[in-house]
Chains A and B, each alone.
Chain A
């Protein structure tokens, strides 16, 4: 397929060809232009605190070892032995001075260097140049306030530039709160959906909440319960949506706190957050202090989603065009009392883990949306994301990014898919940048609904 001329995403991200959720050839193109090019979540500082600590993570369909070095830096390497290609590490986490392949016994340091080869002198003589046989290294590893991301592409913008306008909304919780830690191990479950189906849902779908999650809203005693069964719309001014040049975006539900959790936990979390308000008002101003206590649903492009305040942190690892491995961690504020952390971690898994009752509500939506993308009559149809188009603005004096000033809309879908389409049709970051010169004017058009 010639992806340069293939219009998978229409201008302004208003529609997408349904086949993007099921086409296996396109999936291979995504591995090249999305997953080998963009920043992907690896781990958090709190999960590898000491030198030698490591976790295994996924980048697209590849697996990497992410290890803390002696100087405190973090490096990531392909989890594949350089000799005959066997997986090196089968554990998910640990502390090790190095990694020994169980096939022929080649040993690699946690800095990726090939350090030992059994019977090297006897068998290879001088023929083996160990310096050239280290593990393949992930080109870039950077941190956003303790959240570690990796990128295979040297040409990518820095992580902070990549997050772009989305970073402004994330910093109140990720930085100014006093910082976050991620609690593992993650829950893991396979869903029969394309990775983009949950990523697009988290980036900006407040529309589905009252209907899809009617049963969870009603039974779970959350502060959003009044929305159950579409009994009400969020009131005027209840929230906003935003998107950014590189596709990351989110919805903001003002003062939503940890909205998905139940009445036995939320008052305590609100009191904990409330105690920081005065300090935050002074340090970052009232608007961003309000963002700290608001419920943000979002996706860091391409496959890392979150619900701040509710503490939900997801990675949607692609396996094939209709299969995704879902990892769910809990985010907690570092200075929370231990007992509150423990109960919030359980609440995250109770709502959005493998047995999360909110998460299960979403299964059929994401899975059948993806599976219908393989069907003959439906795959060439258009999926529509035009809700609220024409009202989005860029250059607001308060809110950065392309912003839609209502709680419900599809502003962030459009930004996500504009970036997606530009990557799929580009062969490099330079081409992507060229295709994105007018990104915000494209997203804020008012004439071609």
Chain B
């Protein structure tokens, strides 16, 4: 049996990490994080996916959404994979998804699908050693489709944003440990 979960979670369930990264109270960092996430949400809402990749996403990105199997709280002996990857994408794989979304023969996107993103609970801290901005945020995505199909996605995101050669920060890691075990949403064709 293989383990498909490569990396330890970044900061979600670890008090030590929390204290290290999120108790800084740095208002400038908080503002920088808010601006990054708001601009990114804007590009995704208007489905400017190529601009999103160009301006917001680092070429070394690891973009991951996991789903966690339900286990007994006292489970100790069962050792097989506890999580599976809903997304586990590098930059090229995100490019494929963007091409699929923008393809004129993607019948599901006509009439146009509408997205509205809400970002809350933003916390930011700098990892000085690596010049990485760590951001934790909560996200709601509202998707309106066809006459009466409405789906809502709720998630906590753990990001790392890296400064690129042009000086702008870009997303280099995003991890979402999706809270609902069974998606109620027909599919997960959405960038969170």
- Answer yes or no: are A and B bound together in one complex: yes
Residues of A bordering B, CB below 8 Å: 46-47, 49-50, 52-53, 90-96, 181, 183-192, 212, 214-216, 218-221, 228-229, 262, 264, 325, 338, 341-342, 345-346, 349-350, 353-357, 359-361, 363-364, 367
Q: Please state if B187 and A190 are interface contacts (CB–CB under 8 Å).
A: no
Q: 23 A-B contacts, Cβ less than 8 Å apart?
A: A92-B70, A93-B69, A93-B71, A184-B69, A185-B67, A188-B67, A189-B182, A190-B185, A214-B106, A219-B96, A219-B97, A219-B100, A219-B103, A229-B105, A264-B92, A345-B85, A350-B87, A353-B84, A356-B187, A357-B189, A361-B106, A363-B187, A364-B107
Q: How far is the CA of A367 from the CA of B147 in the complex (A)?
A: 14
Q: Which of A46, A91, A95, A218 contacts B70 (CB 8 A)?
A: A91
Q: Closest A residue to B178 by CB, please name it.
A: A354
Q: Which of A181, A192, A212 contacts B186 (CB 8 A)?
A: A192
Q: Which of A189, A219, A220, A367 contacts B185 (CB 8 A)?
A: A189
Q: Please state if B75 and A91 are interface contacts (CB–CB under 8 Å).
A: yes
Known A-B contacts: A94-B75, A189-B185. Give 9 more (CB < 8 A): A90-B70, A96-B72, A185-B81, A214-B105, A218-B103, A345-B2, A353-B84, A355-B86, A360-B187
Q: Please state if B188 and A220 are interface contacts (CB–CB under 8 Å).
A: no
B-chain residues with CB within 8 Å of residue A354 when the two chains form the complex: 67, 86, 183, 187-188
- Whether B77 sits at the interface, judged by CB under 8 Å, is yes
A-chain residues with CB within 8 Å of residue B105 when the two chains form the complex: 214-215, 218, 228-229
Q: Closest B residue to A89 by CB, please name it.
A: B72
Q: Please state if A216 and B100 are interface contacts (CB–CB under 8 Å).
A: yes
Q: How far is the CA of A95 from the CA of B92 in the complex (A)?
A: 39
- Whether B28 sits at the interface, judged by CB under 8 Å, is no
Minimum distance in angstroms from B21 CB to a CB of chain A? 28
Q: Please state if A220 and B100 are interface contacts (CB–CB under 8 Å).
A: yes
Q: Please state if B187 and A189 are interface contacts (CB–CB under 8 Å).
A: yes
Minimum distance in angstroms from A173 CB to a CB of chain B? 19
- Whether B129 sits at the interface, judged by CB under 8 Å, is no
- Whether B137 sits at the interface, judged by CB under 8 Å, is no
- Whether B88 sits at the interface, judged by CB under 8 Å, is yes
Q: How far is the CA of A93 from the CA of B84 in the complex (A)?
A: 14
- Whether B181 sits at the interface, judged by CB under 8 Å, is yes
Q: Please state if A355 and B84 are interface contacts (CB–CB under 8 Å).
A: no
Interface string of B63-102 (1 = CB under 8 A from A): 0010111111001011011111111110011001101100
Known: A190-B186, A354-B183, A355-B86. A181 touches B1 (CB 8 A): yes
B-chain residues with CB within 8 Å of residue A341 when the two chains form the complex: 2
- Whether B121 sits at the interface, judged by CB under 8 Å, is no
Q: How far is the CA of A90 from the CA of B82 in the complex (A)?
A: 15
Chain B interface residue count, Cβ-Cβ cutoff 8 angstroms: 43
Q: Please state if B78 and A95 are interface contacts (CB–CB under 8 Å).
A: yes
A-chain residues with CB within 8 Å of residue B48 when the two chains form the complex: none
- Whether B108 sits at the interface, judged by CB under 8 Å, is yes
Q: How far is the CA of A301 from the CA of B128 in the complex (A)?
A: 58
Minimum distance in angstroms from B143 CB to a CB of chain A? 12
Q: Closest A residue to B105 by CB, please name it.
A: A214
- Whether B150 sits at the interface, judged by CB under 8 Å, is no
Minimum distance in angstroms from B180 CB to a CB of chain A? 9
Q: Closest B residue to A350 by CB, please name it.
A: B93
Q: How far is the CA of A262 from the CA of B88 in the complex (A)?
A: 15
Q: Closest A residue to B109 by CB, please name it.
A: A215
A-chain residues with CB within 8 Å of residue B185 when the two chains form the complex: 189-190
Q: Please state if A187 and B84 are interface contacts (CB–CB under 8 Å).
A: yes
A-chain residues with CB within 8 Å of residue B186 when the two chains form the complex: 189-192, 360, 363, 367
Q: Closest B residue to A264 by CB, please name it.
A: B92
Q: Please state if B92 and A47 are interface contacts (CB–CB under 8 Å).
A: no
- Whether B4 sits at the interface, judged by CB under 8 Å, is yes
Q: How far is the CA of A190 from the CA of B70 in the complex (A)?
A: 17
Q: Please state if B103 and A189 are interface contacts (CB–CB under 8 Å).
A: no
A-chain residues with CB within 8 Å of residue B189 when the two chains form the complex: 355, 357, 360
Q: How far is the CA of A264 from the CA of B96 in the complex (A)?
A: 12
Q: Closest B residue to A184 by CB, please name it.
A: B81
B-chain residues with CB within 8 Å of residue A229 when the two chains form the complex: 105
B-chain residues with CB within 8 Å of residue A363 when the two chains form the complex: 108, 186-187
Minimum distance in angstroms from B190 CB to a CB of chain A? 8
Known: A52-B77, A94-B71, A188-B183. A349 touches B103 (CB 8 A): no
Q: Please state if A364 and B108 are interface contacts (CB–CB under 8 Å).
A: yes
B-chain residues with CB within 8 Å of residue A345 when the two chains form the complex: 2, 4, 84-85
A-chain residues with CB within 8 Å of residue B82 when the two chains form the complex: 185
Q: Closest B residue to A229 by CB, please name it.
A: B105
Q: How far is the CA of A91 from the CA of B181 in the complex (A)?
A: 11
Q: Please state if A185 and B99 are interface contacts (CB–CB under 8 Å).
A: no
Minimum distance in angstroms from B67 CB to a CB of chain A? 6
Q: Please state if B71 and A212 are interface contacts (CB–CB under 8 Å).
A: no
Q: Closest A residue to B71 by CB, please name it.
A: A91
Minimum distance in angstroms from A333 CB to a CB of chain B? 12
Minimum distance in angstroms from A341 CB to a CB of chain B? 5
Q: How far is the CA of A353 from the CA of B182 in the complex (A)?
A: 12
A-chain residues with CB within 8 Å of residue B75 when the two chains form the complex: 91, 94-95
Known: A47-B80, A215-B105. A355 touches B65 (CB 8 A): yes
Q: Which 9 A-B pairs have the closest CB atoms?
A: A215-B103, A219-B99, A185-B69, A355-B188, A214-B105, A215-B106, A95-B77, A188-B182, A219-B100
Interface string of B101-130 (1 = CB under 8 A from A): 001011110000000000000000000000
Q: How far is the CA of A186 from the CA of B183 in the complex (A)?
A: 12
Q: Closest A residue to B73 by CB, please name it.
A: A91
Q: How far is the CA of A345 from the CA of B142 in the complex (A)?
A: 29
Q: Closest A residue to B146 by CB, please name it.
A: A364
